Structure 1
Amino acid sequence: MSATPTKPLANVTVVELARVLACPFADMILAELGATVIKIEQPGAGDETRSFEPQVGDESAYYFACNRGKQSVTANVKTESGRRIVRELTQRADVLIENFPVGTLARYGLDHAALRAENEKLIYVSCTGFGQTGPYAKRKGYDTVFQAMGGIMSLTGERGGGPVKPGLPIADLTSGMWIAIGLLSALNGRTLTGQGCHIDFSMLDGQVSLLTLAAGRYFALGEVPPRLGTEHPGRVPSATFACNDGAYVHITCSDQHWQPLCELLSLQALAADPTLSTNAGRVEHRERVMAALTKAISGWSRQALCDACDAVGVPAGPINNVAEVLADPHVRARGMVSEFDHPSVGTFGALPLPFKFDGFANPEVARPPLLGEHTDQVLRERLGYDEQRIAALRHEGAI
């Protein structure tokens, strides 16, 4: 009988000295890949997202969404005893992730230089809005500020309309992914050198890096890309079309899909026009092509159009709302809707990590911790504190 597969990060311990979304989301990814994530929370209050809407009983669905699988330890870093707990945990950890304003943790003796002196293999991740250096380093910001300053809002919105933010906190979520990529790279680098490092991550930097194709058009053409709604600046057709049942379908074609799409929609004149046989020609004649497609598609229902496109190999998909996504049979078959059992809320839905491993154990949905749930256990088992010491720490407000 073969041994039970191991989760790929089972040997990694992370101390999370962070709150809200970007860093907690990164750490949830690590936790469900097997890492031990010890989340440091403020006694009595915890991560402020515990109070965010929507509330489920006395708990927050917002907190649930990015804190699964962690251990919650309360420690007041404004007290010397609380800071000592963080230092002692970090001495035994592989990674510390923090998102305090620049310079704050140095005042508490919890900055990279201080903790690296006690653990030279420590990977210390600092996530701030604008980074540790530069003219904006001291500025404050949130997800939507970084979306605005990083360019994505300027690209999002209807043709001729004003800027629009995406429907999810893209700057926070993608920052969490950038953080996970960076620290996993550093962990591998540590196996090469035996040394830890400091990662200075700016959420604005992360948004700038996502500009990719928009920046490519600017570098190549000097073009500041306009807002085009669901249309693609360099591909036609690639857009969302309204159907006769009030629903929408998104269609994206390459050259090999153009003739099948025209035949499907009975657009013989477009199919026969040689100037439209290439994407470059269709981009040049965007208005004519889009007008014809919009008119033809307006006579179809969403499901009928999607089925017809699938039958002829034209890439298309319905614009699903959240309820439709979570009920989709393929999404369900791939195991992308799950749940956990919580001691005060009961069964609650969750979205698993999107990885399927062959050779490692797959990520499993775990429940988020109660505030301070693991404080005593971690102090006893990891730091060797006895019950009397733990009681004294609680009495003085350090935990």
Structure 2
Amino acid sequence: MNAFSTSPVKPLANVTVIELARVLACPFADMILAELGANVIKIEQPGTGDETRSFEPPVGDESAYFFACNRGKQSVTANLKTDAGRRIVRELAAGADIVIENFPVGTLKRYGLDHEVLRTENERLIYVSCTGFGQTGPYAKRKGYDTVFQAMGGLMSLTGERGGGPVKPGLPIADLTSGMWIAIGLLSALNGRSLTGKGCHIDFSMLDGQVSLLTLAAGRYFALNEVPPRLGTEHPGRVPSATFACSDGAFVHITCSDQHWLPLCELLKLDVLAADLDLMTNAGRVARRERVMSALSKAISGWTRTALCEACDAVGVPAGPINDIAEVLADPHVRVRGMVGSFEHPTVGIFGALPLPFKFDGFADPEVVRPPLLGEHTEKVLSERLGYDAQHIAALRRDGAI
């Protein structure tokens, strides 16, 4: 038996999160926490809920968009425009570890639900404010969505074909990476609280998150004063690292370091390139990018995708097929790794889902848990966590507070 046998306990089983958020970035962060074991209570507007419940594509009366980022949570309806609805949030926050919100700057302060108020009632509370541009600065009041942050944060300037215009990635990268940044910040704050006994306020700007991702592009600017151009699938500092068209109309991406150069040349029968000492180093190949890319493209155009990938694997050259979504989800390695799962929903039935990519040895692995129906857990949470009786809950419902 492994010395670190799997525990039935999930690593965040002792953490309670109140989600005052909607759409994607914060719900994605909270879904990560939920499937790592946290008790996530999602506060939603009565009657409508998170607006993504109505987003395309529909699945019966539900939304695949909502399903993708809200698994494993409890849904409680509370009308924040009522005193009773706001009281519910304050009382839940008083017993929680984390509150996460993505309202426009100043909105929750007007509701008496800002971090300063809630932390007076729970000094251990970790409160995250996720906004487009942060709580301070000249853009603080501006509105924005994922693609705006991609544009302003530099990502779109790097994405697109050589000589062409900017292109957005095929996924909402600003939202998804913001969710990851938020999860990292929250886990850091939880550990910090174990050191001080006190919580904190985290001011997270989605634009800040995109600027932090510039990494290598910013490094080239700092080192060379270079504004990186759009290069399609090519890498500005490595040759070859690009996607090549094959004879069957499919594509393969190949990335080589110096130790892979000669095996690739031998595989493709590029004897002249293999004999050229100027091409033995990456710096030499970068300086002669056009010559190298032209020769590789011509040679690879005679191979099928499968044959080329198998041949590269055989000689240790890093290469992979450009898979579409259907191919990814059918890939045998992806399947063996358990990266295609499902949940059973009470109105939709069995629906596919992508599990969190963690395999723990020492804790229970994350598991796919279905997303909640709107307000599904309202009565349970109000009675079990706040001690409300049936008459009180009925009155709240009658008054439109839940």
TM-score interval for Structure 1 and Structure 2 normalised by the shorter chain: over 0.9
Q: Does 1:281 align with 2:284?
A: yes
| Aligned partner of 1:87 among 87, 90, 97 | 90
Q: Distance in 2 between matches of 1:70 and 1:5?
A: 19
Structure 1 counterpart of 2:98, one-letter code: V
The residue type paired with residue 385 of structure 1 is Y
* 1:368 match: 371
Q: Deviations over 1:141-189 (max 9, x none)?
A: 0000000000000000000000000000000000000000001000000
- 2:297 is the alignment partner of 1:294: yes
Residue 182 of structure 2 corresponds to residue 179 of structure 1? yes
Query: 2:112 & 2:121 partners in 1: Cα distance?
Result: 11
Q: Is the 8 A contact 2:6 2:362 kept in 1?
A: no
Q: 1:321-340, CA deviations, whole angstroms, 9 ceiling, x for partnerless residues?
A: 00000000000000000000
Matched letter for residue 33 of structure 1: L
2:22 aligned residue = 19
CA–CA separation in structure 2 for the residues paired with 1:317 and 1:70: 36
**Structure 1 runs, 4 residues or longer, greater than 3 Å off:** 1-4
Residue number among 9, 22, 34 corresponding to 1:31 in the alignment: 34
- Matched residue, 1:133: 136
Q: Is the 8 A contact 2:6 2:363 kept in 1?
A: no
1:256 and 2:262 are equivalent in the alignment: no
Paired amino acid for 1:40: I
Report what 2:338 is aligned to: 335
Q: Structure 1: which 5+ runs fail to align?
A: none
**Whole-Å separation in 2 of the counterparts to 1:155 and 1:234:** 14
User: Following the alignment from structure 1 to structure 2, what is the Cα–Cα distance between the partners of residues 333 and 120?
Assistant: 45
**Structure 1 residues 237 and 376: alpha-carbon distance in aligned structure 2, compared to 1, 3 A threshold:** same
Deviations 1:246-293 (A, max 9, x none): 000000000000000000000000000000000000000000000000
Q: Could you say which residue in structure 2 is the equivalent of 1:63?
A: 66
Instruction: Give yes or no for the alignment of 1:217 onto 2:205.
Output: no
Residue in 1 aligned with 2:356?
353
Q: Which residue of 2 aligns with 1:267?
A: 270
Per the alignment, in what secondary structure is the counterpart of residue 161 of structure 1? coil
Alignment of 1:295-310 (within 5 A): 295-310=298-313
Distance 1:4 1:115 in 2: 34
Confirm whether residue 201 of structure 1 aligns to residue 210 of structure 2: no
The answer for the alignment partner of 1:311 in structure 2 is: 314
After TM superposition, give the deviation of residue 5 of structure 1 in Å. 2.5
Q: Give RMSD over aligned pairs.
A: 0.9
1:143 counterpart letter in structure 2: D
Provide the identity percentage: 85
- Tell me by how many angstroms 1:356 deviates: 0.2
Which SS does the other structure have where 1:6 is aligned? coil
- What's the CA shift for 1:4? 4.5
Kept in 1: contact 2:6–2:361 (CA 8 A) = no
Q: Distance in 2 between matches of 1:227 and 1:215?
A: 14
Q: Which one of the candidate residues 138, 145, 155 is aligned to 2:148? A: 145
The CA deviation at 1:136 is 0.1
Shift of 1:3: 8.6
Cα deviation per residue 1:103-158 (whole Å; 9 max; x = unaligned)? 00000000010001110000000000000000000000000000000000000000
**Selected match of 1:50 from 41, 53, 66:** 53
Q: Give the number of equivalent residue pairs.
A: 399
Amino acid at match of 2:398: H
Cα gap change, 1:296/1:19 in structure 2, threshold over 3 Å: closer, same or farther?
same
Letter in 2 for 1:289: V
Partner of residue 110, structure 1: 113
Q: Which amino acid aligns with 2:143?
A: K
With the length of structure 1 as denominator, give the TM-score of the two structures.
0.99
Give the match's secondary structure for 1:364.
Answer: coil
Counterparts of 1:13 and 1:112 in 2: how far apart (Å)?
A: 16
What letter is aligned with 1:268? D
